[in-house]
Structure 1
């Protein structure tokens, strides 16, 4: 396990402004900077879900808090910005995590028509969803996530911070689990 201590600190601490699964006072707080069109981001998110289930069985529900922050890499992913906006538009209607799951599960289908289909499947108010996206209502929030990532040394996705320290080891269940458990001791 290794932590990159040179550019390792999370610049903006976790807060209620973030998209949170769990509680902020959990033993371990994981902050992930991700891009919905990035295959590695989806893979790491799947790993974190498996690890989260295992940790809640072993240590209880309040052990792990997971936070997702946007870091769309628009220079290499044509749908990255729009999908981040779709997730935020869903968040306002109380459906961030279901949309988050949908976007990572359907990475090959992220065009505008698909985003409307996903919003419809989640029962969102389509008029407001489309209005928010067309008016770019959430650009500032997404840009704040990007800036916080850049200030923390993030240059690509996925980027993961465990209790405020950058994780830079291999993206596999054994090493990531060990880093999370060690972070609490």
Structure 2
């Protein structure tokens, strides 16, 4: 069984407290992947329903060979994070995944009232690409070969079957 090779750290996007949660769920995801799009509302419901019992970490794994906008979406989400709105952008992108395009990403920036100048500067001059590449490389080192890939408490979770019940089974 594969294990998470890169520990959760300060550069990760995290909901909840991984130090106190019973379940630490790490997802390697691609914003344009239809399977990630299907998993998104299930993960969201699971995190909301189980509250402090769950910490959720999202790491970028853009499959750029097959998903034209995956890297742009990951970059915009990380740039939004620099303005404290990663999760809002993450959710907005997944909620509108079927319309994913450069224009849709610009509309998301406007919808969240983000500073467009800061976004443009961040996506061209900051270390966002390095962060996304580090997420991707960490995923490869951990045995990720497709999206979504989940790790539960540091171990690759092979029992995700596309249903909400598979998540609920983690806490029972």
Cα distance in 2 for residues equivalent to 1:105 and 1:166: 26
Corresponding residue SS for 1:161: strand
Is residue 68 of structure 2 the alignment partner of residue 75 of structure 1?
Answer: no
| Stretch deviating more after TM superposition (168-177 or 29-38) | 168-177
> How far apart, in 2, do the equivalents of 1:35 and 1:143 lie?
13
Q: Partners of 1:124 and 1:148 in 2: how far apart?
A: 29
Deviation, structure 1 residue 16: 2.5
Separation in 1, partners of 2:44, 2:83: 23
> Partner of 2:10 in structure 1?
16
**Structure 2: distance between partners of 1:17 and 1:127:** 22
CA apart distance, 1:134? 3.5
**Structure 1 unaligned regions, length at least 5:** 57-61
Stretches of structure 2 lacking an aligned partner (at least 5 in a row): none
Which residue does 2:35 correspond to in 1? 40
Structure 2 CA distance, aligned partners of 1:105 and 1:72? 17
CA contact (8 A) 1:15 1:24 kept: no
Q: Distance in 1 between matches of 2:168 and 2:147?
A: 19
Please give the alpha-carbon distance, in whole angstroms, between the structure 1 residues aligned to 2:64 and 2:58: 18
- For 1:59, the equivalent position in structure 2 comes to none
TM-score w.r.t. length of structure 2: 0.93
Cα RMSD (Å): 1.4
Which has the higher mean CA deviation after the structures are superposed, 136-145 or 120-129? 136-145
Secondary structure of 1:66's counterpart equals strand
After superposition, what is the alpha-carbon deviation per residue over 1:61-97, rounded to whole angstroms, capped at 9, x for unaligned?
A: x210000000000000000001100001101011100
How far apart are residue 112 of structure 1 and its match? 1.8
Structure label with greater radius of gyration: 1
**Displaced runs of 4+ in structure 1, greater than 4 A?**
none
